[in-house]
Structure 1
Amino acid sequence: MSDLSQMLRPEPLPFYTVLVLFLVLLGVIGWRAARATHSLSDFLVMGGKAGALVGGFAWFASQYSMSTFMGVPAMTYGTGFAGMSISVPGLAFSMIVPMLLVGRKLMLMGKRYNLMTMSDYLADRYESDAIRGIHAVMMVIFLLAMMGAQTVGAGVILNTFTGLPEWIGVVVMGVVVILYCMTGGMTGAMMTDVLQGMLMVATAIVTFWVSVHAGGGMEAITAKLADTMPSHLSHPGTKGDFPWQTYVSMIVMWSFFTIGQPTLFTKFFTMNSYRTMFRAVILGTMGMLFSATLIEWSGVNAATFIHGLTGKDADFIVPLILQQNVSPWISALLITGIVSAGMSTISALLVVSTGGITRDIYQNLFNPGATQRQILALSRWFTILVGIAAVVIGIMKPAGIFSLIRFAFGGLGIWVAPVILGMYWRRASRTGAICAVIVGELLFVAMKLWFPGVAMGFDPLIICWAITMLVMIAVSLCTRSATPETLWRHFDALKACVTRRQQQER
């Protein structure tokens, strides 16, 4: 067994210097974004003017979190290539599948009908404020938990590399993200994502190169794995953690159920054209695949020259690789890349959560007469309040917060049923959608907490979503569908708009 405190060598001066310079640079970008934010549309969806470069980096930067650079490499460090082959194929399709199934239609509807949030789409398609309220409340709860977890990661890194209390790292990250999101909204979040995404890619490249060098080259690494850890080279992994059911579940979850994640869903409303969206998705996918493959492979390589890490200590495998093999200044810069992963995720979650409160709940449910200017001002105040709540969660680290995070992806994934059926089936009804998501959420929580064996080795989301679809189809067939006017807007008029756009972009 290895003592992590003895293996890590804190270098406060390089870490402080690099982190401060990085935060100042983010502040400058946030200030520029603030000058370009004049309306609620600018604040929530960047005015629908995002280009391919900004959109591509924003997609993959907000999809990545601190776990991508800590938790996932720790998994491959302990399980080998089986763990790596679970996540990388899913990432290959995590943006392409949503774009093909819902992206173009959402982009066009956003511009045509002034939709800015996922709840906007659901409420408009099903003519229901009830479904808007249910989705908005559930989304804010889940996303707030995710934000709190990302701030916890920043606190752990600051404590590890400087010795300062964890709460200082939580507060610093929270304050910086709040400032550039409060002033620049989605524009600030997406513009800072470009810098953060570049730093993440650089961290992945250098970490992989260093891990290969430290292991003596790929041939030596493979030979050592075959000799001492042969299960690292085969399925289902070192401890049999990845049977075929898990393999299928993870790929389907990451490539299909991302449709239900509000942070990805909202990005479609930011695109200025389908051609731009396509380029952004290809760029984002390449960035995700490239960096994920390298950083996860680094964890496998490190198993041959860093030994004895278990439990939470294994989460520091990437910082250990860097600290032991590059200069303190380069190490500090690249470890800042890990912090960037958390900040980019928080910024996307923060803006989407704010939109859920101010537009979906306050404006559409309680004060329809509020002006866009009033909602914009209110959004800035709620960005501060939601950000503070996330910081408080990060400081308190209440019991059960990480269990709630595990529920978040699956809980939001249930909503793919009303999205897909609403977009492709005219008969889908409001009653069917509400009944289905309630049944699906209750089943998901029950299977996660009390009856995991019912899933037969698959992730409970797969089973629960299938049941949700069946419930929605059955109830919709027995209840009234949307009015002809709504169906015309979501199907006939939209189809004609798609055809015109295709002709214009050729």
Structure 2
Amino acid sequence: MNAHILLGIAIVLLLMFGVAFYSYMKSKDLLSFYIAERGGKWYLILGSLFASGISGASFLGMMSYYYNLGAGTLWINIGIAWSYFVLCFFIGPKLRRFGQLTIPDYLASRFDSPLLGPVFSIIASVWMIVLLGSLYVQGGLLFSELFGMSYSSSTIIVCAMVIIFTILGGMVVVLNTDFIAMIILTAALVITVPFLVKATEGWGPVTEAVSAAQPDYFTNAGELTPFMAFSWLFIWLFGYLGNPGYLTRFYAASSVKDIVKAGMAIALIYLPVSFIFFGSSFFAKTIYPNIEDPETIWLTYTFDLVPPFIVGIAMAGLFVAILSSANTWLLAGATSLGRDIYQKLLNKDVSERKLLVVTKLLVLFLGALSVPIGIWRPAYIMEMMNLAYLIAGSTGGLIIIMSMYYRSMTKEAAWGGIISGSIIAISWKLMQRFSFISAEIDPMIPTLIVTCIVIIIISKLTKPSKKMIAVFEKMVS
């Protein structure tokens, strides 16, 4: 490999190991490991939301969707942008006022149902494993491209590094690495795009060539059906709302004001960055019209067109983003299982020190459990993420947002929503798998509609307890 590329990679990785060591020194107890002692400033919350939302999914998975499917893919970005708005202005402040450690904590208290927390924790852990698998795919593709290693070996190495970083610093390392990743990722994208544009014939010829090859490429739905494009908006909107990896950031915020500031900042930068991704994908399409693996399109044009030292920085930045996202999902799953399964169901009198050890062992377990999915690579990155966020949105996103704004929502309604959402989403996907239902009709919208109706009907037939109302009122104040 070119020495300048190695130098760029080494600089960024040394910086990250320094951050990991700093985070390890700061993470001495359970509160710091779980939620960074509630010390997350607005720029750290911003960086964490941004880096987890962009990460390798945009540079690899999303780029391939832009490349193949066109402007319809932007509905995913619109859904994510709306989710950030809802998270930072309507959900995050309430969670910060509630002030616990995990999302199952909130659900169990809000609905006065101790069993609801562990059940949600198990469901969330299942689709978190799928998300982790998609991130291992991203890291495996990157490492195999960089170092010429086999894909399976690359995936295992990425897994090991994710586990080590997460165990070292918990939420402290997540917040700090995400902030650095945001800066490096944005710089990598902005710096590499001009080299790509320079290698083409300019905006007019590029758009004409792409439109001639795919007439629907620049339409509202692109190569998708309108229903599918619209469904993607809701998958990613509600998927983010139901993702504990995002929601626990708000427990870590130093104040409600910091959450709102992070919301305003991400509103200014997320969509513009997404449009740069989209533009670079169709510029690259004219240079590489028949690329074998569209998920490597950004890697390909960066290596071919950009100076080696910048390539090194960009590739290391991409790895940092993959690492930070994987840390996020892994930490969310492990802390939830540690607190909501081990502590609350199996060992209520466990010491804080032992719970911290158990949580770190769960980091190791969940991290390793996701490796076969990464090596197997059962689908494209975005297909794996679509499935994970479908389950997250169906079982958590709608329930969480309604629980915060529907005062009369009851325990029975929450259970009914989670059960109906899970059954409809999973059974619909299985029926599509065996061709009983058209693949053109995504289950997200029907699932949301039915789940919402179930929650409202059951809430009308039952009555919330005084404890449920007290938790609701606490978040309003």
TM-score (structure 1 length as normaliser)? 0.86
C-alpha contact (below 8 Å) 1:37/1:184 kept by paired residues: yes
Is 1:327 matched with 2:307? yes
Q: Could you report, residue by residue, the CA deviation over 1:175-216 in whole angstroms, capped at 9, with x for unpaired residues?
A: 222222112101111101111111211122123222221113
Is 1:92 matched with 2:73? no
2:236 to 245, 249, 254: 254
Which has the higher mean CA deviation after the structures are superposed, 398-407 or 215-224? 398-407
C-alpha contact (below 8 Å) 2:95/2:475 kept by paired residues: no
**Aligned residue number for residue 416 of structure 1:** 397
> Aligned in 2, Cα 1:454/1:64: closer, same or farther, shift over 3 Å?
same
Q: How does 1:346-361 map to 2 (within 5 A)?
A: 346-361=326-341
Runs of 4+ in structure 1 displaced over 4 angstroms?
12-17, 226-230, 396-405, 451-458
Partner SS state of residue 201, structure 2: coil
Is 1:273 matched with 2:263? no
Ranges in structure 2 where 5+ consecutive residues have no aligned partner: none
**Aligned residue number for residue 72 of structure 2:** 83
Partner SS state of residue 95, structure 1: helix
Q: Could you report, residue by residue, the CA deviation over 1:331-365 in whole angstroms, capped at 9, with x for unpaired residues?
A: 23212333233212101001101111111111112
TM-score (structure 2 length as normaliser)? 0.91
**Aligned residue number for residue 69 of structure 1:** 59
Distance 1:477 1:142 in 2: 31
Measured after TM superposition, the shift of residue 431 of structure 1 is 2.0
Is 1:23 matched with 2:23? no
C-alpha contact (below 8 Å) 1:93/1:254 kept by paired residues: no
Q: Could you report, residue by residue, the CA deviation over 1:37-73 in whole angstroms, capped at 9, with x for unpaired residues?
A: 2322211111211001111010111123422111221
Is 1:233 matched with 2:233? no
Distance 1:123 1:16 in 2: 49
Measured after TM superposition, the shift of residue 101 of structure 1 is 2.5
Is 1:109 matched with 2:98? yes
> Aligned in 2, Cα 1:12/1:146: closer, same or farther, shift over 3 Å?
farther
Is 1:242 matched with 2:242? no
Q: How does 1:29-428 map to 2 (within 5 A)?
A: 29-80=19-70, 82-110=71-99, 115-226=100-211, 229-237=214-222, 241-310=223-292, 313-395=293-375, 397=377, 405-414=385-394, 415-428=396-409
Which has the higher mean CA deviation after the structures are superposed, 473-482 or 195-204? 473-482
> Aligned in 2, Cα 1:392/1:456: closer, same or farther, shift over 3 Å?
closer
Measured after TM superposition, the shift of residue 450 of structure 1 is 0.6
Letter in 2 for 1:306: Y
Distance 2:235 2:377 in 1: 27
Identity of aligned residues (%): 22
Measured after TM superposition, the shift of residue 379 of structure 1 is 1.8
Q: Could you report, residue by residue, the CA deviation over 1:200-237 in whole angstroms, capped at 9, with x for unpaired residues?
A: 11122123222221113323423444555544333443
Letter in 1 for 2:459: S
C-alpha contact (below 8 Å) 2:78/2:233 kept by paired residues: yes
Q: Could you report, residue by residue, the CA deviation over 1:150-190 in whole angstroms, capped at 9, with x for unpaired residues?
A: 11222222223322122332233222222221121011111
**Aligned residue number for residue 503 of structure 1:** none
Letter in 2 for 1:24: L
Letter in 1 for 2:291: L
Distance 2:219 2:452 in 1: 36
Partner SS state of residue 304, structure 1: helix
Partner SS state of residue 189, structure 2: helix
**Aligned residue number for residue 451 of structure 2:** 468
Measured after TM superposition, the shift of residue 380 of structure 1 is 2.3
Between the two proteins, the alignment pairs up a number of residues equal to: 474
Distance 1:436 1:455 in 2: 25
Letter in 2 for 1:19: I
Letter in 2 for 1:434: W
Partner SS state of residue 287, structure 2: coil
Distance 1:318 1:265 in 2: 30
Measured after TM superposition, the shift of residue 275 of structure 1 is 1.7
Ranges in structure 1 where 5+ consecutive residues have no aligned partner: 1-10, 498-506
Measured after TM superposition, the shift of residue 411 of structure 1 is 1.0
Measured after TM superposition, the shift of residue 269 of structure 1 is 1.0
C-alpha contact (below 8 Å) 2:61/2:381 kept by paired residues: no
Q: Could you report, residue by residue, the CA deviation over 1:298-330 in whole angstroms, capped at 9, with x for unpaired residues?
A: 0011122222125xx111111121122112232
Is 1:432 matched with 2:413? yes
What is the Cα-based RMSD across aligned positions, in Å? 2.6
Measured after TM superposition, the shift of residue 292 of structure 1 is 1.9
**Aligned residue number for residue 501 of structure 1:** none
Distance 1:434 1:105 in 2: 21
C-alpha contact (below 8 Å) 1:136/1:360 kept by paired residues: yes
Partner SS state of residue 232, structure 1: coil
C-alpha contact (below 8 Å) 1:207/1:295 kept by paired residues: no
Distance 2:228 2:101 in 1: 35
> Aligned in 2, Cα 1:392/1:89: closer, same or farther, shift over 3 Å?
closer
Distance 1:15 1:392 in 2: 30
Measured after TM superposition, the shift of residue 16 of structure 1 is 4.4
Distance 2:404 2:221 in 1: 38
